[in-house]
Amino acid sequence: MIAPDSRGFSLERGFFLAFLIIVSLVFAWLIAPFFGAIVWAVVAAIVFAPLTDWLTATLGGRRNFATVLTLLVILLAVILPTVLLGGALLQQAAGLYAKIKSGKIDFDLVFFQIEGRLPNWVQQQLAGYGLTDFAAVRARIADGAVKSFDSLAARAFSLGQSVFGLLATLGIMLYLCFFLLRDGRTIVAKVEHAIPLLPEYRRALLDKFAAVVRATIKGSMVVAVLQGLIGGLIVWGLGIGGALLWGVLMGAFSLLPAIGTGIVWVPMALYLLATGAIWQGIALALCGFFIISSVDNVVKPILVGRDTQMPDYVVLISTFGGLELFGFNGLVVGPVIAAMFIATWEIFSRSRDAHRGIGTR
């Protein structure tokens, strides 16, 4: 009688592999509605695992209690401020929208002021490029602003209607995060054992995954919060309205490599200069260049170090791709997929070179 393990590929084994793939795909489809909750639970578990370990050691090995304390830290230091900020931001955006609708913010008047203050040589350059139809430009930007705020209002209303779903997602995230923090090492060991790769390959991929998640949160999210906070305080200090809105926009755009906060403060500074607020425009330009933008260059290397070692253009493309496919979750998912792609090909390349070296001896 032939032993089952010595017959190679059998019908039973093939059927089981097919069944395994089908069950895995169906399970992925089942949990797809909570994809965001799962992603952020994993992210929170990876980022706050050192805190849980430290609390466990401090509390004499009481892992459950340490995990609960960690969840309280996440709730009070991350989730609650985010919810409060979101509510204040919606209020400020709604006020700005009301001013546009009522005519208190007149785009035609703003453009007339800018057009009248442009030097002659600038107007001549614009004429040379066929960009002298200011009326059409005014109409397009005004229409675009109104449509953008209409879309924002619709999203805010939709968010208000789905508060229960948001709370359910948040509850699932915290619930899953508890087990990932408490039993993370056991879960990782089981996942590592189940991956059909050589041990060194499995470890390299899992280490890369954890490093990219930590680098994305520390190097992107933390820097975004700092740049948004500093930018908002500078705008508020200069007496410009909507400081919270502008600060949040700076923080959001700072998440995009090669774009950054300049896409917000540069047009603002030019607008201030063009409308006669000379000292505010100069101050915003100087603060934007020397303070806001320098945060990314100073803080990110300290927080991240050489964790990702991915080129900026890869980070940019993967971030945009992640946002397009996965929404806000793509800020983490995009770079992680790119890192896994690079790591997998590096492993394959090293493996191929090793086999070639063995074959030439």
For 106-134, the DSSP string reads -HHHHHHHHHHHS-HHHHHHHHHTT---H
Per-residue pLDDT, 94: 73
Q: How far apart are CA 51 and CA 177, in angstroms?
A: 13
Secondary structure class of 168 (helix, strand, coil): helix
Q: How many CA atoms lie within 13 A of 109 on its CB side?
A: 5
* Model confidence band, residue 79 (pLDDT cutoffs 50, 70, 90): confident
Over residues 24-53, mean pLDDT: 91
Q: Give the model confidence (pLDDT) of 101-132 as tens digits.
A: 666 666 566 666 666 666 666 666 666 665 55
Over residues 8-22, mean pLDDT: 81
Range of lowest pLDDT (46-55, 111-120, 140-149, 295-304): 140-149
Per-residue pLDDT, 162: 56
Per-residue pLDDT, 360: 45
Q: Is the pLDDT of residue 5 over 60?
A: no
Q: pLDDT: is 295 or 235 the higher one?
A: 235
Q: How far apart are CA 201 and CA 209, in angstroms?
A: 12
Q: Give 255's DSSP letter.
A: T
* Count of C-beta atoms within a 10 Å radius of residue 43: 23
* Model confidence band, residue 165 (pLDDT cutoffs 50, 70, 90): low
Distances (CA, A) of 107 to 90, 92, 135, 154: 22, 19, 11, 22
* Model confidence band, residue 218 (pLDDT cutoffs 50, 70, 90): confident
Over residues 210-233, mean pLDDT: 84
Q: Give the model confidence (pLDDT) of 286-331 as tens digits.
A: 998 888 888 877 777 666 655 556 777 787 888 889 888 888 888 8
* Model confidence band, residue 148 (pLDDT cutoffs 50, 70, 90): low
Per-residue pLDDT, 161: 47
The answer to whether the CB of 184 falls within 8 A of the CB of 51 is no
Residue ranges of the alpha helices (H) in the chain? Answer: 11-31, 35-58, 63-74, 80-102, 107-117, 120-128, 134-161, 163-182, 184-194, 199-216, 222-237, 243-254, 262-274, 278-287, 293-304, 312-326, 330-359
The answer to whether the CB of 343 falls within 8 A of the CB of 211 is no
Per-residue pLDDT, 159: 52
Question: pTM here?
Answer: 0.72
Q: Give 232's DSSP letter.
A: H
